[in-house]
Amino acid sequence: MTVSSLPTELETSDMLEIDGLHAFDFTFDDKKLLIICMDGRAEKRWSFTLEQVAAAIFDETLKSWTLTGDSGEHRLVCMSAFTGNNNDEEDEHDDA
């Protein structure tokens, strides 16, 4: 698998894993990457500038990104989720 850059990966990701925590709630826009997740009852937040995101380094062995922010170094994994569709193709055809 060839990985180009973290910004490119974020565009197609549905979920992130940061420091071992799964995060569905994240936004990546023209200002920053913001990640929010729950660790037990505690909400955790990470914010990275575009420059920090662009400087992330992919670790081929661990299949993850090393991302350095204001709070130190973090391990980030980008994931794509599968979505289900309850509609069977056969049900979409009308036999009448």
CATH number of the domain enclosing 21 = 2.30.29.190
Rounded mean pLDDT of 79-91? 61
Q: How far apart are CA 21 and CA 40, in angstroms?
A: 10
**Is 54 contained in some domain?**
yes
Rounded mean pLDDT of 68-79? 94
pLDDT band at 2 (very low <50, low <70, confident <90, very high): low
Task: Find, among 82, 45, 58, 44, the residue nearest to 8 by Cα.
Answer: 58
**Is 52 contained in some domain?**
yes
* Domain hosting residue 31, numbered range: 6-80
**Is 89 contained in some domain?**
no
pTM of the entire predicted model? 0.78
Residues 6+ apart with CB under 8 A from 13: 78, 79, 80
pLDDT band at 71 (very low <50, low <70, confident <90, very high): confident
**Is 93 contained in some domain?**
no
Task: State both tokens at 66.
Answer: 């090393």
Please count the structural domains in the chain.
1
**Strands annotated E in 19-87:** 21-23, 25-28, 32-39, 42-49, 57-59, 64-69, 72-79
* Structure confidence at residue 23 (pLDDT): 93
